[in-house]
Amino acid sequence: MAEKHRRTDHVHGALITDGAVHGQSERSLLIEPYRRELLLHCYRLLGSLHDAEDAVQDTMLRAWRHFDTFTEKGPGSLRNWLYTIATNTSLDLLKKRSPRTLPTVASAAWDPSMPVAPRSAETLWLEPFPDSWLAEATENPEARYTRHESVSLAFLTVLQVLPPRQRAILLLSDVLSFRAGEIAHLLKISVSAVNSALHRARVTLEKTYQREQPERVQFGHTNAEISAFLTRYLQAWETDDVDGLMALLKEDATLSMPPVPSWYQGRDALRRVLSAFICPPGVHRKWRLSPTRANGQPACVVYRADEATRPYRAFALQVLTLDGSRHPMQVASLTTFLGPELVTSLGFPLHLPQ
């Protein structure tokens, strides 16, 4: 009977049977549906979409290879087992590098009369996360932080200050609603150690995190009003209307451009920077913007015109923090992640048609 069902085939260099192929396919079907939520978890931990993709790929490979060890332990949660692998894989990565941050945290505001600092390869910067991927995540009503707030730039910036293990425990508890006993089992530490680390992490967040949920932008504003505001913002950029942009900004609005360490605060500073470097006199229609969303916030894919041939090439992803607590609505911060490679992760082309 063994000969009857045997087939010589090579998968990952191994001689396998039809039954083995079926087993491998089955485990892939069981594991694969968790890929996107694991990616989101690893992103929160690592602050980098690229690092998160590497961590999840490693997680899926380890789970696929060691799936038998999970089933041999008897009935258990596959999801918890995968989160165990993903969390520990991310913690191993965090041992090898410094925390990620944003220019607004790394240094004082830059003098707009000074030349813009060169891009920094020494500092590890936070990276944006597409909302199109976030949409697949389920909302947990028991969580302290919503799925959108837990990937907002304000939350991630403070989260990265926490020691890696505290960061992991806070996310598992307050975002994913794991119980203390589950976290202790996952990290192979005591329940008291989990509770102690969670308390310290919460104290740090209470001191340093100003809770500004993206959903609060809609307080007192209709979807139509928000859409109209963003249309005005895009038009101001595309028509080189610096005065129009200034009218949409808060008095203390900030502009940062990672990986450039320079950042600016206040309308006067932003006007000088925009007028001198971004919308200089004599240059027209330099920018094209396409609306999108990232990190639970409104965002724009930014294209810049090539001065010689004039096609628009991908330049950056700009994430906006809106202050909707007042009328009219205003932009509180502009975080412009420089780099054309970010555009493709959001499904946008590298070039716009003529």
pLDDT at 193: 98
Q: Which residue has the tokens 């589950």?
A: 182
Task: Report, as ranges of residue numbers, the positions in the chain whose pLDDT lies below 70.
Answer: 1-24, 71-76, 135-137, 212-221, 307-310, 354
- Torsion angles phi and psi, residue 206, rounded to 5: -60, -35
- Say what the pLDDT of residue 308 is: 62
Looking at residue 16, its pLDDT comes to 33
Candidates 245, 234, 352, 336; CA nearest to 289 is: 234
pLDDT at 316: 95
Cα dist. 340→76, 86, 354 in Å? 43, 28, 18
Burial (CB < 10 A; 0-12, 13-18, 19+), residue 222, is exposed
14: which strand partners? 11
Inter-CA distances, 294 with 155, 299, 312, 320, 322, Å: 14, 6, 22, 9, 13
First to last CA, the chain: 65
Residues 187, 181 contacting (CB under 8 angstroms)? no
Report yes or no: 330 and 221 within 8 Å, Cβ to Cβ. no
In sequence order, which ranges of 129-258 are alpha helices (DSSP H)?
131-134, 153-159, 164-170, 180-187, 191-208, 223-238, 242-246
Q: What kind and span of H or E run contains 316?
A: strand 312-323
**pLDDT value of position 220:** 56
Strand partners, 226: none
Q: Residue 20 corresponds to which tokens in the numbers above?
A: 């083995």
Residue 1 CA to residue 4 CA, distance in Å, equals 5
Amino acid 138: pLDDT? 72
pLDDT, tens only, 98-116: 999 999 999 999 999 998 8
259 preceded by a cis bond (ω within 30 of 0) = yes
What DSSP line would sit under 89-157, residue for residue? HHHHHHTTSPPPB-HHHHSPPPPTTSPPPPP-SSSPBP---BHHHHTTSPP-TT-SS-TTGGGSHHHHH
Structure tokens at 119: 């891009």
Angle (CA) 221 232 128, round 5° = 80
Domains, in order of start, for the chain = 1-97 (1.10.1740.10), 153-211 (1.10.10.10), 214-352 (3.10.450.50)
Q: pTM (2 decimals)?
A: 0.87
Alpha carbon distance 197, 168 (integer Å): 10
**8 Å CB contact between 314 and 343:** yes
Q: Which residues, other chains included, contact 25 with Cβ-Cβ below 8 Å and sequence gap of 6+?
A: none
- Kindly list the distances between the CA atom of residue 103 and the CA atoms of 108, 117, 153, 256, 259, in Å, as whole numbers in the listed order: 8, 11, 12, 6, 8
Which pLDDT score is estimated for 29?
A: 81
Neighbours of 152 (CB within 10 A): 22
pLDDT of residue 20: 45
